[in-house]
Structure 1
Amino acid sequence: MRRPTAIILLLTCTVVTAQLRSLPVERSGLNGYAPRFFRQKPIVESVDPAPGPAMPPPPPSDPPSSSGPGQDGGGGGGGGGGGVRLSDVMGRDRSINVFAGFTRDIESASRRLDDQGRNTTVLAPLNSAVGKLPRKPWEDPRDYQQLGADAYEGDDGRDKAQRNIQRFVEAHMVGVSPWPENTKAKTIGDDRDVWWETKDGVKFIQPGNIEVVSVASTVANGEVWIIKEVRNYA
């Protein structure tokens, strides 16, 4: 009777061994495998943090300003507040981008266009008007007469060219805005009077009888007027 008992025990061991081999395993180190349940991490129940003190609701954000570019500034110039400035709009109209580029190159002009404490009326000539000039805006016949063809060579020549272009730009910047009709004003570059008048519904800059094509921009610190010709800046 012992033999059947031994056979039963042998079969039982075989079944247990087969069940152990069928368990899923994962690598444990570099030297072998271990059943997954041997490496299972303890389960920790998540605990909600204790409620803190009640926080007041955030203040409402400021509503956006309803004033448009033409409503900012005006008159004698405002403080250093926000608003669109001349320096923001000078490059918008491609028909005057040559002159706009000159204003960025001249420090006195670029500062003025960015200054909300001083209003300005910019008389920006068309690109075609600048292109029709008998000489470049940075050239002066007197420099050629005195120094010849190399008048603008070297550091001294570049300084002369910079001064000439500054004179050109400042002759097209009137130091007032709004600028009433027939009111004599001065450009920021010299003391000569300049004014404008209306003929048949069209504005003309005087002296020179230069037609104003349009008022391109009205912003916090002034206006940009596009003009058909270049003012006399010599």
Structure 2
Amino acid sequence: MGPSDRHDRLRRWQAASLLAAAPMASLAASDAPATAPPPSPPGQQRVAAAVLVERLHQRVLSGQSATATLESWCAEHGLAEQARVRAVRVHGQDKVAPMEVLRALGASEGTAVRYRRVQLVCGSRVLSEADNWYLPTRLSPAMNQVLDSTDEPFGRVVGPLGFERQTLADQTFWPARSDGSHGVILEVRALLRDRQQQPFSYVIESYSAHALP
């Protein structure tokens, strides 16, 4: 065998070695840990937040109780360790019922109208605040006693009435509307009617940006 033959055999051996090593290099690359995806640009984050606002909007409109809707929302988005919505009464801010509220409730002059302002809270998050004017004569004495003496959510207390919720007006805000210490992403005005279709409660609900995950 001459020197040229030996040189050709050496080149063929080197080429074969490179081809054999290629799959191993590819396998090693595939086993390398994946790098974290880059954070979403601010524009995409705003779009994602707007989508969540609209999703909450539709859930509130289709639900019969703001308390129940927020409780399921809190659970789905992991807003608290225990997805239990509780009402926190806000005292010292009584408001006289506006004329539009009295008309919607069918309340005549001299009709007793009570006012209740609450925050609906899940964990440490204030999800919404509500102004609620209601007719105590259309509730049971037991319901009135609970509403007067506890922070129990209104919807949970009057549940036995089998009420229906009628949306009167609704509007979303994104970016959130500044409102005191909370940015408001959704405002809903609704009327609650009992099984006999008698209105007994008028609520103005302001949903906070804290409801977003």
Q: Same fold (TM over 0.5)?
A: no
Higher relative contact order (CA 8 A, sep 6+): 1
In proportion to residue count, which structure has more strand? Answer: 2
In proportion to residue count, which structure has more helix? Answer: 2
Question: Which protein is bigger by CA-based radius of gyration?
Answer: 1
TM-score, normalization: structure 2?
0.25
